[in-house]
Amino acid sequence: LRAQDDFNGWDINTAAFEWFYESGVSVIMPVGGQSSFYADWYRPAKGRNGTLTYKWETFLTNELPTWLAANRGQDPFGNAVVGLSMSGSAALTMAAYYPRQYKFAASLSGYLAPSQKLWPPLIDIAMQDAGGYDSFDMWGSSGSPAWKRADPMLNINRLVANRTALWVYCGNGIASDLDTGTDLGINVSAGSLETITLSTNKEFRDKYLAAGGRNAVFNFPPNGTHSWGYWGAQLQAMKPDILRLLTTPPPPPPPPLPAPGAPLPPPAPAPAPR
């Protein structure tokens, strides 16, 4: 929710670029998008610092990959998308609707049932706090098609049918040595937010398995708050899976054809009759 306009949070709070250096995988970190849920908003995004046009889904799934293909030679298909907190649900939503683009999707402490129960008002309160935005400008009234489209819980069948490789993580609100902050208020908030998020992550797991999904890692450890130390550790843990999926060597080329006029090799002998 609190994405900054100068650097991406992964770059500010982790060594993600360094972790993937010379790995064979290009790491792209979009900057900005406070309270955006990385969605295409119904209306202009009016916040305390002015009005913006939020068309993040269009940018991430169309404009950015098109530019990268034309200017950096990057394949727009078969990539991975990793999101945390508000972008956890966005990562799974994009994988659900753009399966050719994303063969791997990860949600870290994501809100996986945003259209349901108390989540719409909770999201609205959080957006008001983080920039003064209004969720009505984003997806209209709760229960609208846009809220439901952006709900990973309602997109489980798509993800299963797409055979998307998933990585879903959420802590339980209990701090550990990965909580390095000294601000008690921030630490309590991070713990509380993770606690209420965990139940929907577990519900997502149960419904995914019930729908026949068998291509996911679910990681719900006995501690973990809504903070960067855990998300960085999860990115490192999933790195082997990302590299395996995104850097699989191409199949060997077919054997060369014989030179013109060269005799063809004899056919393999037929099996002896029994």
Task: For residue 117, give its domain range.
Answer: 9-245
**199 given a catalytic annotation:** no
Q: What's the pLDDT at 13?
A: 95
Q: Is residue 84 part of a domain?
A: yes
Q: What's the pLDDT at 201?
A: 98
Q: Which of 153, 165, 152 is nearest to 213 (CA)?
A: 165
- Which residue among the candidates 87, 89, 115, 194 is catalytic per the annotation? 194
Q: Which residue has the higher pLDDT, 177 or 240?
A: 240
- pLDDT tens column, 62-108: 999 999 999 999 999 999 999 999 999 999 999 999 999 999 999 99
Strands (E) located in the chain: 45-47, 50-52, 79-84, 102-108, 165-169, 216-219
For residue 218, the tally of other CB atoms under 10 A from its CB is 16
Alpha-carbon distance 225 to 213, whole Å?
27
For residue 183, pLDDT over 50 is answered with no
Q: Is residue 35 part of a domain?
A: yes
Total domains present in the chain? 1
Which residues partner with 95 through β-bridges? none
Q: What's the pLDDT at 61?
A: 98
For residue 195, pLDDT over 90 is answered with no
Q: What's the pLDDT at 185?
A: 38
Q: Is residue 200 part of a domain?
A: yes
CATH code of 183's domain: 3.40.50.1820
For residue 173, pLDDT over 90 is answered with no
Q: What's the pLDDT at 262?
A: 62
Q: What's the pLDDT at 9?
A: 95
Instruction: Show the CA angle centred on residue 222, arms to residues 218 and 227, nearest 5°.
Output: 80
For residue 184, pLDDT over 50 is answered with no
**226 given a catalytic annotation:** yes
Q: What's the pLDDT at 121?
A: 93
- Which residue among the candidates 36, 87, 226, 227 is catalytic per the annotation? 226
For residue 187, pLDDT over 50 is answered with no
- pLDDT tens column, 212-260: 999 999 999 999 998 999 999 999 999 999 999 999 776 777 777 666 6
Q: Quick check: 211 and 161 in contact, CB under 8 A?
A: no
Q: Is residue 22 part of a domain?
A: yes
Q: Is residue 225 part of a domain?
A: yes
- Which residue among the candidates 35, 85, 87, 109 is catalytic per the annotation? 85
* Average confidence score pLDDT of the chain: 91
Q: Is residue 104 part of a domain?
A: yes
Task: Tell me how far apart the terminal alpha carbons of the chain are, to the nearest angstrom.
Answer: 72
CA 215 to chain centre: 15
Q: Which of 166, 62, 57, 56 is nearest to 112 (CA)?
A: 166
Q: Which residue has the higher pLDDT, 5 or 29?
A: 29
The structure's pTM equals: 0.86
**57 given a catalytic annotation:** no
Q: Is residue 254 part of a domain?
A: no
Q: Which residue has the higher pLDDT, 12 or 185?
A: 12
Q: Is residue 65 part of a domain?
A: yes
Q: Quick check: 165 and 245 in contact, CB under 8 A?
A: yes
Q: What's the pLDDT at 135?
A: 97
Confidence at 197, pLDDT banded by 50, 70, 90? very high
